[in-house]
Amino acid sequence: MPGSSRNVLLVLSICALLGSACSKIYERCELAKELRDRLRVPAEQLATWVCIAEHESRYNTSIIGTLAQGKDHGIFQISDLYWCETGDDGGACGIDCNSLLDDDIRDDYVCARRIYRAHQGLQGNGFRAWAVYQPHCSAGQAANEAKYTNDCFGQDSSRVEEPVQRIQVDQQPGALTLYFTGFGYPYYTYQNIFS
């Protein structure tokens, strides 16, 4: 197996074992597509979530913000004072704060939606739960879309791509190639993993 293939396999194996050690810093449009296509964020909220992620974490999934009391975790900076806990029952979101620091933002978004819904009932606008909302993201849907998402999707920004998740295996004597695909583009390709 060539050295570079071994290195990729080693890094991916370590990431799988360590979980939170594998963080990600998204590009703006990459995050918008992830939220829209994979996590099914409502179109009218998409730009606001991208705005919040930019101003809370600069799209960095591993960020931990230190406050006077407690810490904020992950791409949406979720507080450990109420919403997540480390090593206990997981707070109101039922999640360990460390799981908010990896490259899988599904659990981050699920918890952020819970926070949104709680504050929607309390304040009439769930986004007010984030301190960055008022100064940076409250300009309105059209203004947020113009700044955060319009250039991410081409002409049809409302189209949601259907997820296509598939594993293709090509096996030949002495070689095995796995192709993992989703959303119309390849995620990972492993070649000769058993050599």
Copy the structure tokens of residue 141: 């849907």
Find how far residue 174's CA is from the centre of its chain: 37
Q: Is 56 tagged catalytic?
A: yes
Burial class of 64 by CB neighbour count within 10 A (0 to 12, 13 to 18, 19+) = middle
Instruction: Check if 72 is active-site.
Output: yes
- Per-residue burial over 89-121, b = 16 or more CB atoms within 10 Å of its CB, e = otherwise: ebbbbebbbbbbbbbebebbbebbbbbbeebee
Given 34, 37, 54, 56, the catalytic residue: 56
Please give the helix or strand (H or E) that residue 191 lies within, else none: strand 185-191
CA distance 129 to 95: 18
Question: How is residue 189 annotated by DSSP?
Answer: E
Q: Do residues 36 and 43 lie in contact, with contact meaning Cβ atoms separated by under 8 Å?
A: yes
Exactly one of 72, 80, 107, 108 is catalytic; name it: 72
Of 162, 152, 151, 160, nearest in space to 184 by CA = 162
User: Catalytic amino acids?
Assistant: 56, 72
